Amino acid sequence: MVALLTSAIGTGAWYWHARNVSDANARFRAVASELEADLTRALTQDGALLAGSAALFRQGTITRTEYSSYLQAVGFGTGRFSEIHGVGLIQSVPGDGLGAFLREMRADGIDVSRVTPSGVRDRYCLGSYADWTDLQASIPLFGYDFCTVPVIHSLLTRATDTGLQQVLPGSRLGPLYASDFVLVQPVYSGSPTSLTAREHEVTGWALAIASGPQLLRSLPLDSAVQFVVTNGPGGGPANDTTLRWPPSTTSGGAWSTIADLHAYGTWSIRLRPAPGFLLGDSLLIGPVGLLIVGLLCVGLLTALLVNLMSARRRALQMVRHATTSLQVSEERYRTLTGSAPIGILEVLPEADVTYVNQRMADICGRDAGTLVGAGWISAVHPDDVAGMLSLIDRIRVDRTTAARTLRILRPDGDLRHVRLSAAPKSQDPATGYVVSVEDISAEVTAHEELAHQALYDSLTGLPNRALFSDRLNFELARRRRDGLPFAVLFLDLDQFKLVNDSLGHEAGDAVLKEMGQRFAGGVRAGETAARFSGDEFVFIIASGGDSREATSVAGRILALVQEPVLCAGRELTVTASIGIAIVADDTDATTLLRDADTAMYHAKEAGRNRYALFNEELHHHSVERLELRADLRLALTRGEFEVFYEPAVDLATEAPMGAEALIRWHHPTRGLVSPLEFIPVAEDSGLIKPIGHWVFEQAVSQLAAWDALATGPHLSVLSVNVSAPQLDDPATAGMVRDVLERYEVDPRRVSIEVTESVVMADSGSTLRTLERFKALGTRVTIDDFGTGYSSLAYLHRLPVTALKIDQSFIARLEGEDDSTPVVRAIVEMGHAMELHVVAEGVSDGRLRSLVCALGCDAAQGSFWARPMPPDEFVDWWENSTSAGGVIRFDGGRGEARIASGTVEAREAISP
């Protein structure tokens, strides 16, 4: 009977309860969705005000009056946005734009003379427009640098990066703003689509400060519901709670609903019924219900009474057991923390330390005892103390974990970087916090090193190209602002390849390093010496309006370079060429560098180890060179090249013996362009390879074609000039072999001419190509001999067959600065090495006799003939060799008739 009654009572009670719960849930859902709609409306309204401001600021410069009119028009200050205390603009101002910003503020009647907090920074985030309904005297908004407040800085960064409105709960700013929240929206100059573009184009942030309670007051709130609102979807970070209802609600605990609200970005709301919700109006208990509940309670009470005694016994047992296990666990905890690889502190709510583990003491370089109490604060770097206390403050308010990095200052002055994570020991604030401290000094150092590597050259330690161009842009911006003139110097070490090739790359590096040190010490504070690339260095130096200061600095740097360098056990003398460009009014960084580079090339062309000042003429010269390069590209296909032949005679018999092939360019508008002008351009641009190939094939085919003529000319040797890039190219020797094979020409009849400076400048690839020529059987002549400082020992090792004395020595024979001793020495040295010695540039009979007397074996020059097109060459040869033929010489003034091809016959009738 009792069982029946109890089950009936139970079923009735369960049914009654289930119905009420379902009613209550339905009502809660209705209230919640109404609330969500109201909140979305309110937040959308605030978001729209901000979006409107941002759109206005995007237009560019607007006046403060225009801004106020906008606010008036949308109803700000009329009660419509009662929750918003104030709106304004934070402007992103680059370090060099600060002066202009302050001037502009003052022009608008706002008396700001400097930023707050003061200091020089790369970028400022300055309050510049404001409309405050209650402008607190404590906020000196105008000229205030918001980026100096870390939480605001990260808020602005987040807004910039996402392009969306972002919210900062006021509690993050301190207790004064605990019930407020800050809304920002980035303002861009364009419509950036990528992260980098957003960073570049952000010009400021529209700002609104709203009061949470005020916003809630404008909503019809239901006391039966509790909620918290955070910025961000899916519940958001709990410590970012922006709105809470009722005000005492914390974000902890269980929530029955989490929903996203969409109002200029996503918010999320967590809702739950207020305690007692189930006992609301739907829970009126009727008399029957009361009876049922009464019976149930009586039953339960009886059961409880029966169990009470045994429960008490069990409870006592459990307490005893719990105390023991607490002791064990406390001991285990101490052992664990004592040997933990991270520092651990236990801190009371007032920031006093009660426990420090050994690792923490090690990190701080102090005894654990000295850190207990308030002592540990003295271990924190003074600049970081405030940040650390605010962290503790934050967990005190939010009861959540928080982290930050800060610096520990050891008694020996050593700085350690640590990452600090603090968490409340429990939900009870009185229990304090546990702080774990991780030494991240190595990580920070690695980061700093990486940052350093990104901006500094690892070999010389000088700023690299990226940092240089940053500084150059900075100087240009400064110049635009305050008109301070400066100059850019572009330095290239002369023939640095020679150092690398002959002494090895290590020696080359040592020279660069030494130069880096000299340059770093050679510029004044505020000036820059940087490594641009390879052996190129660049400088930014202060200069007066004219070039005097810049040229004197360039002279000083040249002197620094020239001081002997001790390298690989020997003393080296290095020189450099410097180009100087003085900044002009409308210059940009690229033009300045290009001008300095152009001037540097000019310094090289003018003979190296000097500086050259950029001027328009140089610019013209370099433009011309560029045009020439463009035309040169087309010259081969357009058939604008031709090969001329300059005869060479055997000085013993005076008989023509061979010729030198010399290229000519018939330019469509410039006429005949000298190879002296275009070969260097072809070498620079890489075009010399196809051109050189063409010349070689043209010359060899001509030789074969003449061979096929019964009348000749039958040349014993044909010389062809080959440039440095061709010698550097391993394919050249193969090309030479192919051509010779194709035209069936004996390799011994071809002499390849390479200039002395080229042979001396390279010991690797050039030498290999020359060896291959030798293996093919061609002759090799060192051209322009005497100009390239050959070392005799080195010459001896080269696979060469002839020396061609440079025409500058021939021209000075018995003249001013008489070169006779040099020529004599070259002839003697050449003969001692069993080399054929040729004189070039023999332009008259006097020189002919002199080179003859000095013992040259062969000669060429205008005394016999200038380079000629093939047809003329054939005529000339025929005249010069056939019995009775006529040799014209001395520019046509002399004429010789040849009886037997011997010199006697020629001399007999020379004038």
Q: Which residues contact Mg ion by CB under 5 A?
A: 721, 753, 783-784
Q: Which of 218, 862, 881, 902 binds ligand C2E (CB under 6 A)?
A: 862
Q: Tally Cβ neighbours within 10 Å of residue 405.
A: 14
Stretch that binds ligand C2E, among 34-42, 57-65, 404-412, 719-727 (CB under 6 A): 719-727
Q: Which of 89, 635, 662, 856 binds ligand C2E (CB under 6 A)?
A: 662
In the 8-state DSSP scheme, what is residue 286?
P
Judged by beta carbon distances under 5 to 8 A according to partner kind, the member of Mg ion, ligand C2E, none in contact with residue 867 is ligand C2E
The answer to whether 786 contacts ligand C2E (rule: CB under 6 A) is no
Q: For residues 351 and 662, which CB has a smaller minimum distance to Mg ion in the complex?
A: 662
Phi-psi sector, 526: left (phi>0), alpha (psi -120 to 50), beta: left
- Could you give the CA distance from residue 381 to residue 7 in angstroms, rounded to a whole number? 71
Stretch that binds ligand C2E, among 115-123, 268-276, 456-464, 673-681 (CB under 6 A): 673-681
Judged by beta carbon distances under 5 to 8 A according to partner kind, the member of ligand C2E, Mg ion, none in contact with residue 910 is none
Q: For residues 396 and 866, which CB has a smaller minimum distance to ligand C2E in the complex?
A: 866
Name every residue whose Cβ is closer than 8 Å to that of residue 831 and which is 6 or more positions away in sequence.
837, 855
Name every residue whose Cβ is closer than 8 Å to that of residue 505 and which is 6 or more positions away in sequence.
none
Q: In 510-667, which ranges are E strands?
A: 528-533, 536-542, 565-567, 570-572, 576-582, 611-613, 641-650, 655-667
Q: Which of 753, 761, 752, 859 is nearest to 809 (CA)?
A: 859
Q: For residues 166 and 721, which CB has a smaller minimum distance to Mg ion in the complex?
A: 721
Stretch that binds ligand C2E, among 112-120, 715-723, 729-737, 879-887 (CB under 6 A): 715-723
Query: What's the min distance (Å) between Cβ of 600 and ligand C2E?
Result: 24
Query: What's the min distance (Å) between Cβ of 675 and ligand C2E?
Result: 4
SS3 category, 588: coil
The answer to whether 698 contacts ligand C2E (rule: CB under 6 A) is no
Judged by beta carbon distances under 5 to 8 A according to partner kind, the member of Mg ion, ligand C2E, none in contact with residue 663 is ligand C2E
Q: In 76-215, which ranges are E strands?
A: 84-94, 123-132, 166-169, 180-188, 202-211
In sequence order, which ranges of 348-436 are alpha helices (DSSP H)?
Answer: 358-364, 368-371, 382-398
Write out the two tokens for 23.
């009613």
The answer to whether 783 contacts ligand C2E (rule: CB under 6 A) is yes
Judged by beta carbon distances under 5 to 8 A according to partner kind, the member of ligand C2E, Mg ion, none in contact with residue 42 is none
Cis link prior to 713 (omega < 30° from 0)?
yes
The answer to whether 802 contacts ligand C2E (rule: CB under 6 A) is no
The answer to whether 591 contacts ligand C2E (rule: CB under 6 A) is no
Stretch that binds ligand C2E, among 1-9, 396-404, 543-551, 717-725 (CB under 6 A): 717-725
Write out the two tokens for 89.
């603009």
Contact 842, 850 (CB under 8 A): no
Query: What's the min distance (Å) between Cβ of 724 and ligand C2E?
Result: 9
Contact 682, 665 (CB under 8 A): no
For the CA atoms of the chain, what is the radius of gyration?
A: 46
Q: Which of 721, 769, 801, 819 binds ligand C2E (CB under 6 A)?
A: 721
Q: For residues 692 and 747, which CB has a smaller minimum distance to ligand C2E in the complex?
A: 692
Q: Is beta strand 433-439 parallel, antiparallel or unpaired with respect to 570-572?
A: unpaired
The answer to whether 96 contacts ligand C2E (rule: CB under 6 A) is no
In the 8-state DSSP scheme, what is residue 78?
T
Contact 212, 194 (CB under 8 A): no
The answer to whether 760 contacts ligand C2E (rule: CB under 6 A) is no
Write out the two tokens for 635.
């010259």
In the region spanning residues 159 to 198, those forming contacts with ligand C2E, defined by CB under 6 A, are none
Query: What's the min distance (Å) between Cβ of 571 and ligand C2E?
Result: 33
Q: 585-592 long-range CB contacts below 8 Å, 24 or more apart?
A: 587/476, 588/476, 589/469, 589/472, 589/473, 589/476, 592/472, 592/476, 592/488
Q: For residues 433 and 863, which CB has a smaller minimum distance to ligand C2E in the complex?
A: 863
What CA–CA distances, in Å, run from 266 to 156, 158, 164, 897?
17, 14, 10, 105
Q: For residues 432 and 656, which CB has a smaller minimum distance to ligand C2E in the complex?
A: 656
Judged by beta carbon distances under 5 to 8 A according to partner kind, the member of Mg ion, ligand C2E, none in contact with residue 516 is none
Q: Which of 558, 679, 780, 800 binds ligand C2E (CB under 6 A)?
A: 679
Q: For residues 156 and 826, which CB has a smaller minimum distance to ligand C2E in the complex?
A: 826
The answer to whether 835 contacts ligand C2E (rule: CB under 6 A) is no
Judged by beta carbon distances under 5 to 8 A according to partner kind, the member of Mg ion, ligand C2E, none in contact with residue 701 is none
Q: Residues 721, 725, 727, 731: is their CA dihedral positive or negative?
A: negative
Q: For residues 241 and 860, which CB has a smaller minimum distance to Mg ion in the complex?
A: 860
Query: What's the min distance (Å) between Cβ of 705 and Mg ion?
Result: 22
Q: What type of residue is 366? A: R
Calculate the dihedral angle through the C-alpha atoms of 132, 136, 137, 141, rounding to the nearest 10 degrees.
-50
Site size toward ligand C2E, by CB under 6 A:
23
Q: For residues 587 and 843, which CB has a smaller minimum distance to ligand C2E in the complex?
A: 843
Q: Which of 204, 343, 579, 675 binds ligand C2E (CB under 6 A)?
A: 675
- Could you give the CA distance from residue 758 to residue 772 in angstroms, rounded to a whole number? 17
Q: For residues 784 and 890, which CB has a smaller minimum distance to Mg ion in the complex?
A: 784
Q: Which of 346, 631, 784, 890 binds ligand C2E (CB under 6 A)?
A: 784
| Window 417-446: contact mask with ligand C2E (x via CB under 6 A) | ------------------------------
In the region spanning residues 265 to 284, those forming contacts with ligand C2E, defined by CB under 6 A, are none
What CA–CA distances, in Å, run from 638 to 355, 633, 635, 647, 679?
89, 9, 5, 28, 17
Judged by beta carbon distances under 5 to 8 A according to partner kind, the member of Mg ion, ligand C2E, none in contact with residue 674 is ligand C2E
Query: What's the min distance (Å) between Cβ of 782 and Mg ion?
Result: 10
Q: What type of residue is 291? A: L
The answer to whether 840 contacts ligand C2E (rule: CB under 6 A) is yes
Judged by beta carbon distances under 5 to 8 A according to partner kind, the member of ligand C2E, Mg ion, none in contact with residue 418 is none
In the region spanning residues 804 to 823, those forming contacts with ligand C2E, defined by CB under 6 A, are 807
Write out the two tokens for 775.
């293996």
- Site residues, ligand C2E (CB under 6 A): 646, 662-663, 674-676, 679, 692, 695, 721-723, 753, 783-784, 807, 840-841, 843, 861-862, 866-867
